[in-house]
Amino acid sequence: MTIWSGVHDYTEHMRSAIEAALDANPHPNPRVGSIVLDPSGSVVGRGIHREAGEPHSEQAAIAEAGDAARGGTLIVTLEPCNHHGRTPPCTEAILDAGIETVVIGAMDPDTRVAGGGVERLREAGVEVTLGLLSDEVEVMDPAYFHHRRTGRPRVTLKAAMTLDGQVAARDGTSQWITSIEAREDGHRLRAEADAVMVGAGTVLADDPELTVRLPGYHGRQPIPVVIAGKRPFPNELRVIERNAVVFAPSERQLDTEVVVVESGARVDLDAALRTLGDRGIVDLLVEGGPILADGLLEARLIDRCVFYLGAKLAAGVGTPPFNGIFRTLEDAIEIQIQDVRPIGPDVRVEATLVAKEAA
């Protein structure tokens, strides 16, 4: 929704604030960029939010502008906060600086902000306009906006399959369907995720580690998450040794945390995702297998697919990426292909699905 109603055209400044913000990775916070103009319209301050815990972009831009901000304009990609978090409220910094006009890209859906920043500024007599390039702002951090709106992490389903659509051959073998280049890209997806989820079948078949293994990578490792069913599994599995969070339909003894979220003898996947969302998991990567993928798709809980199509033909009925929940084409899920590109000898396809609330 665009509620932009400004008189001056600040589009180029907003675009420049977006471009600057893209340089930072303040995850799990959103990327935010700010520009301060003096009363004559000259740029006197710029700021981006570099890292969680570091000053917000408004504060950085105002600090750079100093006294020149008085009577000026702030252009900011996301609604300024009005609450004490790790940093003081940006609305107070804006008022203290004597800024008279604030132009905002997107409203912040975080319940601690959600219009409160705008209200505080307007109450204090600041002219506020909203919605300039809001779609471009949201594209910078789709997982953040999704998490704050739904309470669940943004869910990306990743699968590596043969060109004829099999994630494992008839005998169950699946390593390796894709090239080293595609597998490295999969590790980059893990590096962007807060947690990586798999079903019990995949854990028992492959004993995956679910770690980021890229040359020279020293960043954080995603939390392993397992959806368990009826079968017992041993503590010697790698994900248990890495203290995976295991969701199960009933209590079980394991050397790691077990969270019971039951729905008719199955794990309630929506409740599991909400539990992860409550724990601050904003971006979740699901690496199969097919039964877990079915459950998530059936509940319309998949937001994005990244499929690697390996340059191989399994030429036999093996394991497809979904176990099969729909019978007719009428049930097929509409997707939007966002990106298709070669990766080594393989192909990477990225698509988004219509969110549950909108479906």
Instruction: Indicate the residue among 95 and 205 with the shorter CB distance to ligand NAP.
Output: 205
Candidates 5-13, 30-38, 49-57, 164-172: pick the segment binding ligand NAP (CB under 6 A).
Answer: 164-172
The two structure tokens encoding residue 73: 């304009």
Neighbours of 358 (CB within 10 A): 7
CB of 293 to ligand NAP, least distance (A): 6
Residue 212 CB, shortest distance to ligand NAP, in Å, is 16
Segment near ligand NAP (CB under 6 A), from 57-65, 223-231, 275-283, 325-333?
223-231
Residue 296 Cα distances to 16, 199, 259, 260, angstroms: 38, 11, 18, 17
Query: Per rule CB under 6 A, is residue 206 in the interface with ligand NAP?
Result: yes
Count residues near ligand NAP (CB under 6 A): 32
357 has catalytic annotation: no
If binding is defined by CB under 6 A, does position 99 make contact with ligand NAP?
no
User: Alpha carbon of 144 to those of 27, 31, 152, 165, 277: distances in Å?
Assistant: 9, 9, 10, 31, 11
Q: What are phi and psi of 47, to 5 degrees?
A: -155, 150
* Cβ proximity of 133 and 105 under 8 Å: yes
Q: Pick the closer one to ligand NAP by CB: 83 or 187.
A: 187
> Which residue in 227, 239, 246, 353 binds ligand NAP (CB under 6 A)?
227
**Of 254 and 292, which has the nearer Cβ to ligand NAP?**
292
Q: List the interface residues with ligand NAP, window 233-262 (CB under 6 A).
A: 249
Cβ-in-10-Å burial (0-12, 13-18, 19+) of 86 comes to: exposed
Residue ranges that bind ligand NAP, judged by CB under 6 A: 159-160, 167-168, 172, 174, 177, 198-202, 205-206, 227-231, 249, 266-267, 269, 287-292, 295, 319, 323
